[in-house]
Structure 1
Amino acid sequence: MSVVQSIRSAAVAAIKALYDQSLPEQDIAINTTKPEFEGEYTIVVFTFTRFSRQKPEETGQHIGNYLVQHFPELIAGFNVVKGFLNLRITDQFWIRFVRNNFSNKNIGIQPANGKKVMVEYSSPNTNKPIHLGHLRNNFLGYSIAEILKANGYEVIKANLVNDRGIHICKSMLAWQLFAHGDTPESTGIKGDHLVGDYYVKFETVLKEQAEPIIERVLDNDFRDFEGENLRKVEKLATLLHQPEVKNDAEKSGKIHAEIKELARNQTEIMQQAKIMLEQWEAGNPEVRALWSTMNGWVYDGFEVTYKRLGIDFDQMYYESQTYLLGKQLVTEGLEKGILFKKEDNSVWIDLTADGLDEKLLLRGNGTSVYMTQDMGTAKLKYDDYHMDQSIYVVADEQNYHFRVLKLIMEKLGEPSAAGLYHLSYGMVELPHGRMKSREGTVVDADDIITEMVDTAARHTQASGKLQNFTEAERQPLYNTIGLGAMKFFLLRVDPKKKMVFNPEESIDLHGFTAPFIQYVHARIKSILRETNYTESLEAYEYNGGLLPLERELLILNEQFDTAIAEAHKEMSPAVIANYAFALAQKFNSFYAEKVAGKYIYSIRDAESEEKKKLRLQIVTLTANTIAQSMRLLGIQVPERM
């Protein structure tokens, strides 16, 4: 039983005895005591005054006296500040805690709760390699899955591959037009990188073809448009000449962007891509064969990258296998009168009554859109697993999309809607600004991994601590440090916040980084090796007290369960990252504390054999907790560093 559970149980007994009130334990609010007050845990007593019929201070005094008298093995003392009862836990409680848990390498893991959750993350497109922006997604999804497991959930890690659609056809068409038969084998280029190069090539040609169309529109020449598009572009061009728009940079910019998008859609190469998409959906053998070949190149590339990242999945889904199910839902929605058709035969849902807008679900030519695919996937996932919750790890640019998806599935009466949860996160930028796939300015994941490992090697070699490492031992260490640094840096920030990734800052051995925590773990392991420690310490009796940092280190270790629960509640691995860093910092203080040149918390020179064994257990517990907390972030910790 944790210390908080023990306090709650004791408080319930006290309230029953003093006031004849039976309270459920969850009604007892307990916080960690503020640093300016004596104690470790605080019971909030304000709500008890309704039946104690006393002032909060008096109520706190009565409950505190009862706890000290009837639970002496738990409560050593107390003080009351207004309506807050601050408790000091006995040394013996903490000593029992470390004895019972020091060798537990699965510390913090809760028993199964009978609930099932799917976490969908990564979701790459098969028109480009995984890049830095995807890495936060991958690390966040993997870590949230591990945190849910630690909280007792059965977790399915899923990956939905975006393997169809107009963006895929762009790469295919550009390869068809410009590659002259190039393959990964013939060029020596990794498959996902090769395909990504042709996505960029498509966008380059598209831009070249769109520019003269845009110029003609700005000169009121609309020869490239007809029908509805002609009416749209004429209206936009007229608006541009209005004084209130000319003098408003924001309005003018939005109109220029709309004109640009209309022009892009009128280019020859975009028209060819749309035809290819229609051919793909119609099952054209040649188009399907090219699609299969190029996707195969990309999958081979993804597999290499995932392996380097230490990322895995239990279930793979492909949009090419789910969009038809989405179309089926659209048909059913039309039959039920939930959806409607427009004149061009496109299918929509009207969500204006829900404070949103009309949403396209099927184009007039019968091809599906992202929403169609996501509808089908949501149904398929639920039919496969009947999970209690389906978590989508997707950037905050798609907040509106997932609001709409949940609402559509609710209106269609699909049971998957109830557990649909969007774990939204901010985008990652580099110090020089945002990356853009269309313009080829993204940093590929493979390149950033290599850079991080090389940076780790450079920093580690500069530290001069590798004399006893063989060459074969060094490379795995560089990988552990480099990847750990990258993962920790991208996870230490609350997911909702945007962030800037700085490789050099992420690997600082003395900062808020994984290498600092990894080094503390390696230092503990070194101490244990030097003392010839074994985990099978014989039973011993220690009846003395704890010194301040012994006590603080044990308290922080005991709070690991709370950190795991909070990380789940907040859906934020940053909680675990902050906890791991705080624990490593506390150990550093414990390890380095000196008075008159003597280490206060020495193991080798401990005051007694019993105290030595106690400290061995404390540092072993700390090493295990650090290792477990970093594992929840997908980060390895070395035994030597």
Structure 2
Amino acid sequence: MSVVQSIRSAAAAAIKALYEQTIPAKDIAINTTKPEFEGEYTVLVFPFTKFSRLKPEETADQLGKYLVAHNPDLVTGYNVIKGFLNLQIAEQYWAQYLQQHFNNRNIGKKPSNGKKVMVEYSSPNTNKPLHLGHLRNNFLGYSIAEILKANGYEVIKANLVNDRGIHICKSMLAWQLFAHGDTPESTGIKGDHLVGDYYVKFETILKEQTEPIIARALENDFKDFQGTDLERIEKLVTLFHKPEIKADEEKLAKLNDEIKELSRKQTEIMQQAQIMLQQWEAGNHEVRHLWSTMNSWVYKGFDETYKRLGIDFDKMYYESETYLLGKDLVEEGLAKGVLFKKPDNSIWIDLTADGLDEKLLLRGNGTSVYMTQDLGTARLKYDDYQMEQSIYVVADEQNYHFKVLQLILKKLQEPCADGIFHLSYGMVELPHGRMKSREGTVVDADDLIDETIGAAAEQTANSGKLKDMAEDDLQQLYKMLGIGAMKFFLLRVDPKKRMVFDPKESIDLHGFTSVFVQYAHARIKSILREVAPDADKLEGYCHKGSLLPLEKELILLNEQYESVLEEALKEMSPSVIANYVFQLAQQFNSFYAEKVEGKYTYSVQDAETPEKQKLRTQIVMLTARTIAKSMKLLGIDVPERM
């Protein structure tokens, strides 16, 4: 039981005894005491005044006296600030906690709660390599999975590969038209990069073919359009030329985008891609063979990148294997009357009564849309695992999509519907702005990996501290520091917030970075090598004397790990862990560096007494273990030397 849980239980017992009221211990609000006040933990007393019928200060005083009198091993003193009861925790409590946990390899890990959760992350497209946006997704999904495991859940880490659809056909068609048989082997280009190059090539040709169509349309020449597209473009162009629209930048930009997208559909190359998609769905042998070949190049490239990043999965799903399940679901929904068919044979669902709009689920030509395959995948995942929750790690651009997905599944009465949770995160930008796949301005994950590892190597080499380390060990250290820098920087920000990734800032030894935390861990390991502690001899030791301020503060911060783990799960945010472990590293550095009259106050090697050396050895061992555990939840390793 953590100290907060102990305080809650004691406070609930006190309220029962003092006011004859039973309240759940979990409902008692407790925070760490603010630095300007004496004490370690603060109880919020205001809710109890309705039982006590006293002023908050009087209620706090009664509660404080009771806790001290009846829980001397836990609470030794208190003070009252308005409606806040600040408690001083017994020093022996901290010493006992330290004795019990300093060498606990499973610190903070909860027992199994019998619940199963799937975390789906990465979800790459097989038309381009992994890029910076994928990195935040991968790191976030992996870390959330680890946080869930540590909190007692059985976790399935899943990856749904977007291996079919019009975007895949774009790369295939461009390769067919312009590659002249190039392969990764013949060009020396990594497979996912080679395929991505042809996606950019397609978009370049598409842009060239689109521009004259737009120009003609804006001059009221609509010969490129027909049917419903003709009706739509005529309306858009009429609006475009209205003075009130010209004066509204936001409306004008939206119109421009609509006209552009409609014009893209009319190009020769886009129509060829659409034909290829229909051929793929019809099982055309030649198209399927090209698709299989190019995807195999991409998968090999993905695997290399995942391995470098330390990212793994328990289950792989492929849209090419799930979209037909989605079609089945759509047909079932149509038969039940939940869905409806339009004159062009496209199938829709009407969500206007739910405050949304009509949603296309199957095109008139029989081809599926993203929602179709997501419906099928949702059913398949549940059939495979019957998990209580299915977490989708997807950028906030898809917030509406997942709201609609869950609503459709509920209307179709699918058992997986209630467990769907969209872990939405903000997009990542670089200091120079947003990336665009179509324009080839994305920053490849492989390039960023190389850059951060290179920066770590340069910084470490400049320190001159590891000249005796073997070259293989050095290269492993550089990778640990570089990959850790990327992960920490992208996870330290609350997922809901958009962010800017700066590779140079991520590797700063003195900043809010993984390198700072890793260095603290390496420093502790250096201390322990010098003291050469025998853990067995320390197991039975429990310090009996008083604790100096930073000794107590460092133990207290370590003790909060379990509560931080629970908060990270509640918030679905690895940033909670990142902020905590950085604070722990800072606290250790203060502990390590404090001097009085030129002498280190908290020296482990030159401690004032053998008892103090044992105490501080336990403290730094616990700190190293908590740092390593915390960083592992972020997917980051910590070095023994730096």
* TM-score, with structure 2 as normaliser: 0.99
Kindly indicate whether the alpha-carbon contact (under 8 Å) linking 2:604 and 2:613 is maintained by their aligned counterparts in 1.
yes
2:554 corresponding residue in structure 1: 553
Paired amino acid for 1:511: G
1:95 corresponding residue in structure 2: 95
- 1:564 and 2:568 matched: no
CA distance in 1, matches of 2:197, 2:449: 19
Deviation at 1:47, TM superposition (A): 2.2
CA distance in 2, matches of 1:426, 1:20: 49
2:186 corresponding residue in structure 1: 186
- 1:236 and 2:228 matched: no
Post-superposition Cα deviations, 1:514-572, rounded to whole Å, max 9, x if no partner, equal 00000000000000001111222243353210000000001100001111111111111
2:608 corresponding residue in structure 1: 607
Post-superposition Cα deviations, 1:165-195, rounded to whole Å, max 9, x if no partner, equal 0000111111111111111111111111111
2:210 corresponding residue in structure 1: 210
CA distance in 1, matches of 2:21, 2:364: 67
Kindly indicate whether the alpha-carbon contact (under 8 Å) linking 2:95 and 2:544 is maintained by their aligned counterparts in 1.
no
1:592 corresponding residue in structure 2: 593
Aligned positions of 1:190-589 closer than 5 A: 190-538=190-538, 539-589=540-590
CA distance in 2, matches of 1:83, 1:249: 53
CA distance in 1, matches of 2:500, 2:24: 45
CA distance in 1, matches of 2:235, 2:250: 18
**CA 249–48 in structure 1, closer or farther in 2 if over 3 Å, else same:** closer
1:26 corresponding residue in structure 2: 26
**CA 247–542 in structure 1, closer or farther in 2 if over 3 Å, else same:** closer
Paired amino acid for 1:200: V
Deviation at 1:209, TM superposition (A): 1.0
Kindly indicate whether the alpha-carbon contact (under 8 Å) linking 2:171 and 2:202 is maintained by their aligned counterparts in 1.
yes
CA distance in 1, matches of 2:18, 2:257: 71
Kindly indicate whether the alpha-carbon contact (under 8 Å) linking 2:115 and 2:387 is maintained by their aligned counterparts in 1.
yes
Paired amino acid for 1:196: G
CA distance in 1, matches of 2:455, 2:27: 51
CA distance in 1, matches of 2:233, 2:453: 51
Post-superposition Cα deviations, 1:333-362, rounded to whole Å, max 9, x if no partner, equal 111111111111111111111111111100
Kindly indicate whether the alpha-carbon contact (under 8 Å) linking 2:410 and 2:417 is maintained by their aligned counterparts in 1.
yes
Kindly indicate whether the alpha-carbon contact (under 8 Å) linking 2:530 and 2:605 is maintained by their aligned counterparts in 1.
no
CA distance in 2, matches of 1:612, 1:499: 44
CA distance in 1, matches of 2:106, 2:480: 21
Paired amino acid for 2:18: L
CA distance in 2, matches of 1:610, 1:418: 56
Kindly indicate whether the alpha-carbon contact (under 8 Å) linking 1:14 and 1:63 is maintained by their aligned counterparts in 2.
yes
Deviation at 1:56, TM superposition (A): 2.1
SS of residue matched to 1:182: coil
Deviation at 1:116, TM superposition (A): 0.9
**CA 540–232 in structure 1, closer or farther in 2 if over 3 Å, else same:** closer
- 1:636 and 2:632 matched: no
Cα RMSD of the aligned pairs, angstroms, is 1.0
CA distance in 1, matches of 2:570, 2:168: 37
Question: How many residues end up aligned between the 2 structures?
Answer: 641
Paired amino acid for 1:591: Y
Deviation at 1:46, TM superposition (A): 2.0
User: Which blocks of at least 5 consecutive residues in structure 1 are unaligned?
Assistant: none
Kindly indicate whether the alpha-carbon contact (under 8 Å) linking 2:163 and 2:318 is maintained by their aligned counterparts in 1.
yes
Deviation at 1:368, TM superposition (A): 0.2
CA distance in 2, matches of 1:490, 1:541: 40
SS of residue matched to 1:537: helix
Deviation at 1:229, TM superposition (A): 0.7
Kindly indicate whether the alpha-carbon contact (under 8 Å) linking 1:541 and 1:610 is maintained by their aligned counterparts in 2.
no
Kindly indicate whether the alpha-carbon contact (under 8 Å) linking 2:527 and 2:605 is maintained by their aligned counterparts in 1.
no
Paired amino acid for 1:486: M
Deviation at 1:314, TM superposition (A): 0.4
Post-superposition Cα deviations, 1:595-633, rounded to whole Å, max 9, x if no partner, equal 000100011221211111010000000000000000000
SS of residue matched to 1:415: coil
SS of residue matched to 1:39: coil
CA distance in 2, matches of 1:540, 1:136: 44
Kindly indicate whether the alpha-carbon contact (under 8 Å) linking 1:342 and 1:348 is maintained by their aligned counterparts in 2.
yes
SS of residue matched to 1:536: helix
SS of residue matched to 1:510: coil
* TM-score, with structure 1 as normaliser: 0.99
Deviation at 1:119, TM superposition (A): 0.4
CA distance in 2, matches of 1:79, 1:585: 28
SS of residue matched to 2:416: helix
CA distance in 2, matches of 1:608, 1:541: 14
Paired amino acid for 2:222: F
Deviation at 1:281, TM superposition (A): 0.5
CA distance in 1, matches of 2:463, 2:211: 54
CA distance in 1, matches of 2:47, 2:500: 44
Deviation at 1:19, TM superposition (A): 2.6
Paired amino acid for 1:299: Y
CA distance in 1, matches of 2:45, 2:67: 14
- 1:176 and 2:140 matched: no
CA distance in 2, matches of 1:249, 1:600: 64
Kindly indicate whether the alpha-carbon contact (under 8 Å) linking 1:240 and 1:246 is maintained by their aligned counterparts in 2.
yes
CA distance in 2, matches of 1:418, 1:10: 37
1:120 corresponding residue in structure 2: 120
Deviation at 1:64, TM superposition (A): 1.2
Runs of 4+ that moved beyond 4 A: none
Deviation at 1:30, TM superposition (A): 1.5
Post-superposition Cα deviations, 1:201-225, rounded to whole Å, max 9, x if no partner, equal 1111111111111111111111111
Paired amino acid for 1:311: I
Paired amino acid for 2:543: Y
**Stretch deviating more after TM superposition (460-469 or 561-570):** 460-469
Post-superposition Cα deviations, 1:356-411, rounded to whole Å, max 9, x if no partner, equal 11111000100000000100001111111111111000000001100100110011
Paired amino acid for 2:242: Q
Kindly indicate whether the alpha-carbon contact (under 8 Å) linking 1:537 and 1:613 is maintained by their aligned counterparts in 2.
no
CA distance in 2, matches of 1:45, 1:277: 65
Deviation at 1:246, TM superposition (A): 2.2
Kindly indicate whether the alpha-carbon contact (under 8 Å) linking 2:144 and 2:574 is maintained by their aligned counterparts in 1.
yes
CA distance in 1, matches of 2:47, 2:247: 59
Aligned positions of 1:10-89 closer than 5 A: 10-89=10-89
1:157 corresponding residue in structure 2: 157
CA distance in 2, matches of 1:537, 1:620: 13
Post-superposition Cα deviations, 1:22-69, rounded to whole Å, max 9, x if no partner, equal 332123221211222211111222222223232222222122112111
CA distance in 1, matches of 2:355, 2:557: 46
Paired amino acid for 2:71: F
User: Which blocks of at least 5 consecutive residues in structure 2 are unaligned?
Assistant: none
Kindly indicate whether the alpha-carbon contact (under 8 Å) linking 2:95 and 2:542 is maintained by their aligned counterparts in 1.
no
CA distance in 2, matches of 1:155, 1:33: 35
CA distance in 2, matches of 1:191, 1:328: 34
Paired amino acid for 2:627: I
Paired amino acid for 1:387: M
Kindly indicate whether the alpha-carbon contact (under 8 Å) linking 1:518 and 1:638 is maintained by their aligned counterparts in 2.
yes
Kindly indicate whether the alpha-carbon contact (under 8 Å) linking 1:484 and 1:636 is maintained by their aligned counterparts in 2.
yes
SS of residue matched to 1:323: helix
